[in-house]
Amino acid sequence: MGTGFVSEKHPEELFDACIEEACKRYGMGVCSGASSSFGTNRRRPGPYCPAILFLLRGNRFVPIIFYLYAADGAGRRPGPREPFPEMTVDDIALTMHPEIGSRTAIHLVECFGSAERLFAATQQEIVLRSGLKPELARSISRREYHGAAERELAFVERHRIRAIDACSAEYPRRLKECPDYPHVIYVSGGTDLNSPRWLSVVGTRRMTPYGAMLCERLIGELAALVPDAVIVSGLAYGVDIEAHRAAMNAGLRTVGVVAHPLTRIYPSRHTESARRMVQQGGAIVSEFHSGCRCDRSSFVQRNRIIAGLSEGTLVIESAAKGGSLITAEMADGYERTVMAVPGRIDDDRSQGTNRLIRSLKAQMVCSGRDIADCLGWEPVPEARPAEGDLFGGSERALPAGQADLLKWIDGVTPRSVEELELLSGLEPGRLSELLMELELAGIVRAVAGDSYIKISKSC
């Protein structure tokens, strides 16, 4: 049980009164002992005192928890501090401690109600209520990482990064349903993390042209049916970056979850795509503060956020082992819908997806409609026009030069520039010009080996 008092006196002067009032309020006669600690916090401008009283009822002790606040001259509890989205230095400091992982942070906040109350407690209180080892409890009570947390808070404010703790209304509800959610996430971009219809798309880094075509087509079809969908991936090579770009091409918001601080983008060649994602209403998300040194295990940590943010995870091409299968396993463990696109049985980059389908861990999908049906998403009443067809009319007519060149490019087999020169009879300069026009129009895409593949059905 718990309660609180407000007084014009400093909390230290209230402690004896607190004991007396507790005995009256709860009908207990003998106070066996009490302990308290004092501190200041950033959510309220004045000092406060959490007090744990052990009162004797019959033959057992009952803990009563009090939070005492220094009031203003009018006897009111202090108002909120300067605007900052429900974030405190305490929350960041909790995640900076090297001996406190996600599950331990969740446990501590459950025990104390907030990071503020945890850091206001004494070593003995922390051990008693949470069961931590005395050494770790002592480190927490000494607030050893608050200096670094103050600097981190200044960093995120300076760079317009949102630092969102799990007690905030901004924190994504779907992620908080997972048993190992991070206590703090850092977000660049203003997208609503609690908007509906989020889909994670993952797969191999060594994507084939077939996989690229499928990614573009499936996300484009889904966008036509569900124009408010959000596509989540990891900004890595292969399927990840293809999914982000396909979402942007289709007019969807897209969110990248990275395995490093928001001080940079890895790989660096995807920095411009990350910038576009934020500009087009998406976001970049990380659980790592700016001083983190990340390693290979950070990518596995990142995968649980990709799985946890969305209602479902779609796997497009995966080898027999890989990070995308780990993400799919996590999504399945979180009781989210897992989907996979089937591939050729002799393609090593389809072994993972085919196995997911065969083992019934994933539902097979072959179209945007399949994805919407698996997730229970109702399509909009009228599908919107395809990109470039603003009035919903017939297919767009291409200039003669582009149309002639496009006859030699299909959506399955990539054509190299050398092949296209021979087939089309065009001069190299004119060929490069037409290919650039088709690529800018979103009709073809450059793939590995200086080759091109058709990705649009608008022609």
Whole-prediction pTM? 0.68
pLDDT of residue 260: 94
Q: How many residues does the chain have?
A: 459
Q: Which residue has the tokens 């087009």?
A: 280
pLDDT of residue 332: 95
Mean pLDDT split into 10-residue runs, the chain, 459 residues: 41 52 48 37 38 51 46 41 55 95 95 93 94 95 93 93 94 96 96 96 92 92 95 95 94 96 93 95 96 88 96 94 93 96 89 94 94 92 48 54 86 83 87 83 77 64
pLDDT of residue 430: 87
pLDDT of residue 397: 64
Count of CB atoms situated within 10 Å of the CB of 230 = 25
C-alpha count within 13 angstroms, C-beta hemisphere, residue 181: 21
Cα gap 75→115, rounded to integer Å? 26
Q: Which helix (H) or strand (E) holds 253?
A: strand 253-257
What would the DSSP string read from start to end of 160-184? T-EEEETTSTTS-HHHHTSTT--SE
Nearest C-alpha neighbor of 216 from the set 231, 198, 196, 195? 231
> Could you tell me whether strands 48-57 and 30-36 are parallel, antiparallel, or unpaired per DSSP bridges?
antiparallel
pLDDT of residue 435: 87
pLDDT of residue 44: 34
pLDDT of residue 394: 38
Question: Is residue 334 packed enough to be buried (19+ CB in 10 Å), middle (13-18) or exposed (0-12)?
Answer: buried
